[in-house]
């Protein structure tokens, strides 16, 4: 289980979000939507300590870290429970696809290279890139690079996978293959926290959708409720602004 209490992040005098509480049960898929600039990506980065929150406690499985007292060992223990998928792939350009997937197993989990490469190849096979193990990122399409990024996160067998707008940097023709892989993970009951502008994905895959605005969790619930019977005026305005309605979500992919 993932439990976040009173998480607060400030940059100088600007408060990005404050006193956020979030509990995610094992196997749950939570999708966060909302306007740009409201702190969604920063929230993910704080959970994984890519950014340090000013206040709050983060619990993942049996590891609890107080952000005001976190030591390096605490942060490493928490990161071992998470996998992070970035907007811009964040692959190592000088490593092959196989090496990129294996890197976390070697550096974080201490696996021997031969064992890590064998496991990495199994993952590449699983995500449909078995013939790309020796390819460098520059030789892969955007969709393939992002799938390698997801494979790298999968390799750690993390309690929680964090997806920071994983399709936002992709050309439209590559979005589908990444969303298909994420849907595959959903069928395996992988716990996921996803920030995305893909409304169709949120509706089809999420167990819970959270609308975030003004640094707060404004409204949350089942996708059907969020998209068809929203309550908060800010959520209604957001859905109207991006042209979301029941018919558009059922007829095809909707990205905002």
Q: Which domains does the chain have, with CATH numbers?
A: 2-242 (3.40.50.300)
Please state the pTM of the whole predicted model: 0.91
Contacts with 108 (C-beta within 8 Å, 6 or more apart), sequence order? 76, 79, 80, 156
Beta pairing partners, 58: 4, 65
Predicted confidence at residue 251, as pLDDT, reads 41
Task: Give the pLDDT score at 245.
Answer: 60
As a whole number of angstroms, the distance between CA 126 and CA 228 comes to: 36
* Series of mean pLDDT values for 10-residue runs along the chain (256 residues): 96 96 97 95 96 97 96 92 92 97 92 97 97 98 96 94 94 92 94 94 95 96 95 93 61 46
And the tokens for 143? 């969709």
Residue 193 pLDDT: 98
Q: Tokens standing for 239?
A: 């859905």
User: Quick one: pLDDT at residue 256?
Assistant: 47
Q: Give the burial class of 95: count Cβ atoms within 10 A of its Cβ; 0-12 exposed, 13-18 middle, 19 or more buried.
A: middle
What is each CA distance from 196 to 65, 99, 200, 209, in whole angstroms? 26, 28, 10, 11
Q: What is the pLDDT of residue 247?
A: 44
Spatial distance between the Cα atoms of 248 and 256, rounded to a whole number of angstroms: 12
pLDDT of residue 108: 85
Q: What is residue 203's three-state secondary structure?
A: helix
């Amino acid at each position: 289980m993932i439990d976040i209490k009173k998480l607060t992040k400030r940059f100088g005098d600007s408060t990005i979000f404050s006193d956020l509480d979030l509990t995610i049960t094992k196997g749950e898929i939570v999708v966060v939507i909302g306007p740009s600039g409201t702190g969604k990506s920063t929230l993910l980065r704080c959970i994984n300590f890519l950014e340090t929150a000013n206040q709050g406690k983060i619990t993942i499985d049996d590891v609890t870290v107080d952000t005001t007292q976190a030591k390096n060992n605490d942060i490493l223990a928490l990161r071992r429970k998470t996998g992070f998928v970035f907007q811009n792939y964040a692959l190592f350009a000088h490593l092959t696809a196989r090496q990129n997937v294996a890197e976390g197993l070697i550096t974080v989990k201490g696996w021997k290279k031969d064992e890590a490469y064998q496991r990495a190849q199994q993952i590449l096979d699983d995500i449909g890139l078995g013939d790309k193990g020796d390819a460098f990122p520059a030789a892969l399409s955007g969709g393939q690079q992002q799938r390698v990024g997801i494979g790298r996160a999968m390799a750690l067998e993390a309690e929680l996978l964090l997806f920071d707008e994983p399709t936002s940097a992709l050309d439209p023709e590559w979005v589908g293959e990444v969303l298909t892989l994420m849907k595959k993970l959903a069928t395996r009951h992988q716990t996921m926290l996803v920030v995305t502008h893909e409304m169709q994905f949120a509706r089809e895959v999420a167990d819970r959708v959270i609308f975030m605005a003004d640094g707060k969790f404004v409204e949350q619930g089942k996708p059907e409720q969020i998209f068809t019977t929203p309550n908060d005026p800010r959520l209604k305005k957001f859905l109207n602004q991006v042209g979301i309605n029941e018919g558009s979500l059922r007829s095809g992919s909707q990205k905002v």
